[in-house]
Amino acid sequence: MVDEKKTRIIFHERFAELFIMNESQKAKIIIKTLNKIYPKAPVPLKSKNTFTLLISVLLSAQCTDVNVNNVTKDIYPKYYKPEHFVKLGRKKIEKLIKKIGIFRIKAKSIYFMSKQVLEKHNGKVPKTFEELEKLPGVGHKTASVVMSQGFGYPAFAVDTHIHRLAQRWGLTNGKNVIQTEKDLKRIFPKKAWSKLHLQIIFYGREYCKARDCYGLTCKICTTCYPNRKKPVITKKA
């Protein structure tokens, strides 16, 4: 009787393994679930134009969107062009953003980035990844957000939330954010990239948090992996 019970358990475990969802099936569930929860995905960072969006994204590194918005709401009504920040200089920029983490480093980036936009791009934010990533303080993630939210170009910026959830959902091996971005772009349709970027961030903050779920409790994790028993250990971005 005991042997028969063990046999049934083994059979059910192996039977369940046969029905592990593939990437395409998981992608459909993820899109459907996120569209139901977040039919609209508003840009969380407030800005006055593309240039101030660039500054806000730069400021958001190691800082919450709420904190960035609280600081910039008093800046952008008066300062919103590269020439404004060049004229201010680094020390005055530091005073304006001192409530934000690593403000001295960010003030330096904002000053020299503004100077370069003014001198090399006639005061206009460049519209290519290559030119954006040449700007001081601007990496690939920042460039992706600006290309997507500022210029409407399909991009899939990967932050810490997206990197974590992509691993919990079995969409990437988590080697690094570059690999995660490549995997997500391969799995999801291009037209959905920009919206998914925001939706996954919102979902990661609300339902599949860093110190919660662990791939075991949220709607998407339990739907994609109904038989998962052990928490998913993810690699950091």
What are the structural domains of the chain?
A: 20-41+156-224 (1.10.1670.10), 50-150 (1.10.340.30)
Please confirm, yes or no, whether 159 is among the known catalytic residues: yes
- Other Cβ atoms closer than 10 A to 44: 17
Distance, in Å, from the CA atom of 79 to the CA atom of 70, rounded to the nearest integer, reads: 15
Mean pLDDT of the chain: 92
Long-range contacts of 132-137 (CB under 8 A, 24+ apart): 135/54, 136/108, 136/109, 136/112, 137/58, 137/106, 137/108, 137/109, 137/110, 137/112, 137/113
pTM of the predicted protein model: 0.88
Query: ∠ at Cα 48 (43, 52), nearest 5°?
Result: 85
- Per-residue pLDDT at 229 exceeds 80: yes
* Catalytic residue selected from 5, 6, 32, 141: 141
pLDDT at 12: 46
pLDDT, mean of residues 59-72: 96
pLDDT, mean of residues 188-214: 96
Distance, in Å, from the CA atom of 25 to the CA atom of 30, rounded to the nearest integer, reads: 9
Q: What are phi and psi of 60, to 5 degrees?
A: -75, -10
pLDDT at 13: 46
Residue 15 — very low, low, confident or very high, per pLDDT cuts 50/70/90? very low
Q: Which residue has the tokens 């969006």?
A: 53
Please confirm, yes or no, whether 212 is among the known catalytic residues: no
- Other Cβ atoms closer than 10 A to 34: 21
Token duo for residue 124? 């206009």
Distance, in Å, from the CA atom of 11 to the CA atom of 221, rounded to the nearest integer, reads: 23
Work out the angle between the directed axes of helices 160-168 and 193-206 (0-180°, nearest 10).
80
* Catalytic residue selected from 26, 106, 159, 183: 159
Cα 113 vs. chain centroid, distance in angstroms? Answer: 22
